[in-house]
Amino acid sequence: MYSLAIASTDRSVVYHTRDHIEAPNWSHDGKYFLFNSKGKIYKLPVKGGTPELLDTGSQIKCNNDHGISPDGTQFAISDQTKDGKSRIYLLPIGGGTPRQITPLGPSYWHGWSPDGKTLAYCADRNGEFDIYTMPVEGGEETRLTTAPGLDDGPDYSPDGKYIYFNSNRTGMMQIWRMKPDGSEQEQITSDDYNNWFAHPSPNGQWIVFISFDKDVKGHPANQDVVLRLMSLSDRKIRVLAKLFGGQGTINVPSWSPNSQNVAFVSYQMVYP
């Protein structure tokens, strides 16, 4: 796991292991990361050290779609213990008994509204993957995208005015944004990469996202990928890092609270 300074693009190793780890979330107090490995969630100090297992109750098949509430008191997980289909659960930030939110699966958490009242997620309903929202208390889900193809990775801007997401509705996977009610859907990137998982910085100035080669389908693991940064003031894009990764590298929000660093996972092939 790395921490990368966006100003210099210098990266430093936070944690190295032969275990498969994915998707670091940076805590809002800047002190630790939460990540998943082998179906469990772990807590790791920002300065490194030994990961601590987080209690997720009977949910022991957590995937890499998880994140922290805006007030820092709750943690959302996507878990498929029940029947192999991912559903969203909430639990206290320090661990505890998860509360199921989405009755239907598969549902994959990706974003939390800044006011803490709404969850945004990707879900497969009747063979179509689209963006949905649901109140944190549970209830009826609201479908925001209806275009044919895959819509994924919703993440709110810090001012709550937009949801950023990725869609392949125009052929290549590109970054889009829309209003929180699903209106005014607008394409943000248009290039020869397949772009996934846009995460707005806490200060609202940038989005970071992962880019795959144009011939790569989906967001598989074990790929040569690029982390890129877009300035939202002029939409200019620059490369932050080239690495070996993909699935698990930066699926979920991973900005430092001061918007100066991003955390991500890179991999190496290990042979017996």
Mean pLDDT in the chain?
Answer: 97
Longest Cα separation, the chain = 52
269 inside domain: no
Provide the 8-state DSSP code for 27: P
Question: Each residue of 246-267: pLDDT tens digit?
Answer: 999 999 999 999 999 999 999 9
Structurally, the chain folds into a number of domains equal to 1
255 inside domain: yes
270 inside domain: no
Instruction: State mean pLDDT over 74-96.
Output: 97
The answer to whether 256 and 26 have CB atoms below 8 angstroms apart is yes
Q: What is the CATH number of the domain that holds 186?
A: 2.120.10.30
Strand duo 237-245 + 261-264: pairing: unpaired
With a cut of 70, say whether residue 271 has pLDDT above it.
no
140 inside domain: yes
87 inside domain: yes
Question: Each residue of 36-73: pLDDT tens digit?
Answer: 999 999 999 999 999 999 999 999 999 999 999 999 99
Express as a percent the part of the chain with pLDDT over 70: 99
254 inside domain: yes
272 inside domain: no
pLDDT number for residue 244: 97
User: Is this structure's pTM higher than 0.75?
Assistant: yes
Q: How far apart are CA 2 and CA 134, in angstroms?
A: 32
Residue 248 lies in domain: 2-264
271 inside domain: no
Question: Each residue of 138-186: pLDDT tens digit?
Answer: 999 999 999 999 999 999 999 999 999 999 999 999 999 999 999 999 9
Q: Give pairs for 100-105: CB < 8 Å, separation 24+.
A: 100/138, 101/76, 101/134, 101/136, 101/138, 102/134, 102/138, 102/141, 103/138, 104/141, 105/80
